[in-house]
Structure 1
Amino acid sequence: MAVSQTAGQSVTGNRLTIPGAAGSDQGQYWCEGRLEGRKVTSQRSDSITVAALPKATLTVEPKWHPLYNGETVTLRCEVESYSNWTYSWYKDQAQMAVSQTAGHSVTGNRLTIPGAAGSDQGQYWCEGRLERRKVKSQHSDSITLTVALPNASLTVEPKWHPLYNGETVTLRCEVDSYSNWTYSWYKDQAQMAVSQTAGHSVTGNSLIIPGAAGSDQGQYWCEGRLEGRKVKSQHSDSITLTVALPNASLTVEPKWRPLYNGETITLRCEVDSYSNWTHFWYRDHNQTATSLTKEYSVNITGAAGFDQGQYWCEGRLEGRNVTSQRSDSITLTVAALPKATLIMKPKWRLLYNGETVTLRCEVDSYSNWTHFWYRDHNQTATSLSKEYSVNITGAAGSDQGQYSCEGRLEGRNVTSQRSDPITLTVAGVILPIALGVGFCLIVLALIFILFQKHRRNKGEIVMLPN
């Protein structure tokens, strides 16, 4: 069908003019001639194609995603096979071409971004302009550039804190999801990577420390390096490893010295603050544990002589191959119940009515005994006193008898053995007075007799002759 002028096209002579070509004008065109006055039509001409505006094609090299800080990327824009196109570059919603002032470099159909940074992220597209013709290509499809700052992430397995001597720990470093990172490890303030010569083992993204010791303590961090690209991750956050030598601590409660027969005492073994230790108990020079328990304490009830000895303990941590150091030893001495000693002052064998005597009860060197006093065969104390002595003043016959005592230690279920008894005898004063009076009368009688004899002797002397 012949092209009509109604479509906005203009036919003048042997010319068809299409002003402001649009998409509706594309297609194949040909022509033929007809000779006026003769029924003659020429053969059709070869066809000419009127095409739509070409579309720019945008590619990126290299095709890394994401692009990392500091890397260089090149965007390439192409429009068909023409070589005389010039290109404009656009970013995000901007209708203005990307300028070289942003640090970008435009050469021919290439836009180069050296040392990419976060500000270079976004959507890019391009278009071509045909020199000497007022023709612009269609915009290319957009390409999104993501510029990432790779961060290393450091984890530790197992997450025990503290780590104990001899245990194995693994540090794992990860950067994004790429598998082609290589990793460097650092410790404390050292800028030099941790080497395997220190007994550490580096495998892939893992640093393994077998048989940890005090020298392995410190702060560790890592970084990744991307193979085939000049990319280094940021340092990971540091992880502090503490390698402890667990020590068992043995205490005794109560701290009585000595321990008396029949008393109860508790030995307590503590290893750090963990609750899942199994406690092994040793006695004297035995290298094999005499007992083991999940409880950290052992009670000795009704202590006796056979409980005496040196005790120590150690802990073994469940689920981990860890044994603490042995505790210092504690020597347990179990003494026989002390015997009370009863002393009388003054030590008169015979006490007379009205005199004063002091009974003193002594038990070891402790001052906190309560003293119980017994008389004759009575099994119930006649009195008790914090004082260790009892005074009997103005003794009388009713005070006579056998006295004994015992001590009971305050705050402890301890009673001493009873003292040997002392017999107290109180005599009246009648017999001594009678004897004294009788003695005086005898003396007076003797004096009287001697006096009379003296008088007789004197009289005899007077009667002698001259």
Structure 2
Amino acid sequence: MSKICFLVLNTVFNFGHAQGDVTSFFYLLLWIFTLILLLNLFQLNMFWHNTSSLAFIFYILCFLLFNLDVQLTHDPSSSTLFLGESVTFTCNMTAGYDSNWSYVFHRNGQHIVSKSDVSKFLQLDRTTDLSGRYQCSAYHKDSPGFIKQSNNITLSVAANRPTPTVTADRKTISEDRPTELTCSVQDSAGWKYDWFRHIFSEVQIESNVVKNTINIHRGGIYWCRGRRGSPDFLTEPSEMFYIENTLSNQATVALQHDWSQIYSGEAISMSCEIKGGGNSKWEYEWRTTTSKPPSRERTFHIRASVFSSGDFWCRGRADPFSSTEWSQTCHLRVSDKPRPTVRADKRLIPVGGNVTLTCSVDNPTEWKYYWFRHTGNISEVQTVDEGKSENVISISQGGVYYCQGGRGSPVFFTEESHRINIEKRVSNMASVSLRPDWPVIYSGETITVRCEISGGRNNEWVYEWSKPISDTLPTNEYRIVDASESSSGNYRCLGRNKQDLYSSTEWSDITTVTVSEQRPKAQIIADRDSTGGTMTLTCSVKPSSSSSSSWTYYWYRVEIASKPVELKSDTNGELVTSENGLYFCRAGRGRPVYYTESSQSVTVDIPGRCFNELVHRFLRFIQKIILINFFL
């Protein structure tokens, strides 16, 4: 039976070798010998007498022999290798039956190396591109025709040395939150890893480790490198990976002044305060949304403008890789320079009294207040009060007042407030008088209205009038020339001190001027005395309200073929005559003289001296003609 087994073995393997593939016949042989074993079992009695038990054992060995297999492995075990890398192939028989075998290695079906000894290793240096399909064949030394084919291994060789990549679950760590770094070489396996850290100098922290991750508890610059094979093939170094260590200290942005609002033009300072920083020497970092980033100093100064508005953050750095968290956001909002307002409890300071002024600006407690005054007649501005926290002052002088708010160092001033006029009343008294002082003024007359101030000289004052027509100069007299009805009304005045135009008297009492448009007319009353030798004529002015003492009376007698003869003028309004004739009168007053209308004519006819009736009528006719020509 043993002869039959070897005969079959040699035949099958020689055939398989001639075909170039023994493996394809392996399972065919396995089935043949299994069939033989079954036949022996059915005919156990027949074979048991003709063969020994050794034959049965040999069947078992034949069965095991046909289950041997060859396996091709490589180191590194990656399917992708890199130019310059070495690889070692190993051809092994399964189940440890690797003695009395020789091996041949193939690439893409072509022999690479043929060895007659028992060496099962093949080492190749990847100095060139040896990508392809690799396989090995095992030859039994006692039966050269007995060949086993290994599995196939396909390799690809990349031209460039690989660069690993470092990743982390986060880039910042803290005392209680470390991070894990991972080093990865893309599309390849079989690597061991070297880890490096740089803080102030480069330090190798791990070398030739299989695990590609490490836990990090310190900040720094980390990178890795892969190695595999023998001799070691090294990857390129990975890119630097920065790990930031977050300290427990807290950073805060602090303004120099705790002001609720910042204004354009104001000088401000920002500081980065580190809580629990001790005496550590911190380096400060700032971040802002404004266009101009701040410096790296702890405190920086800016001149605020609308472009300074934005958000600011800071943090402290103890070393290049250890820093605090960024501070809370500090919102800086810059507004236009404010303008305060001034209020007064009253606008007029009474004699011996005062007025309270209040300066108002947003957030009043943040400011100090400056008060100014000028009197209007000089350009110099007087400082009334400055640098006080109280925004209220009491004043006893008139003038134009305004205020400003100021704060900081150097002092930042608000805009000037609006001006407010405060009048002061002095004890001097003003009064209005008329020259002449007539109760009724007639249209066309000229009068003078005068302002008189007690206890002072006229040249000390500037005068102000309140009257129907606002056309007066600041003098103490107002002359009404050619009065008309529009001149009627109430007149009053006050005086302002020339040295302080906001100090004035009270307004005077009202003086009323009445102008009549109707020209008054004179009238004559004739009175003959008891003897009959003379006649008394009395001239008066209508209306009777006109003061008779203010008038001068003018008398006229009409003579034939001549103008009326002015007889006399006086203020008593009486004329005593013994001459017959035609008489009339008129009154006048003021300078220039204002005349009334002429009175009606009166005939004086004393017995023994009268003309006949014809003469008298003729004289009346002539009088009328002369009067008409005289007054035209």
User: Normalising by the residue count of structure 1, what TM-score does the alignment of the two structures yield?
Assistant: 0.41
Specify the structure having the higher radius of gyration (Cα).
Answer: 2
Q: Which has the higher contact order (CA 8 A, sep 6+)?
A: 1
User: Normalising by the residue count of structure 2, what TM-score does the alignment of the two structures yield?
Assistant: 0.32
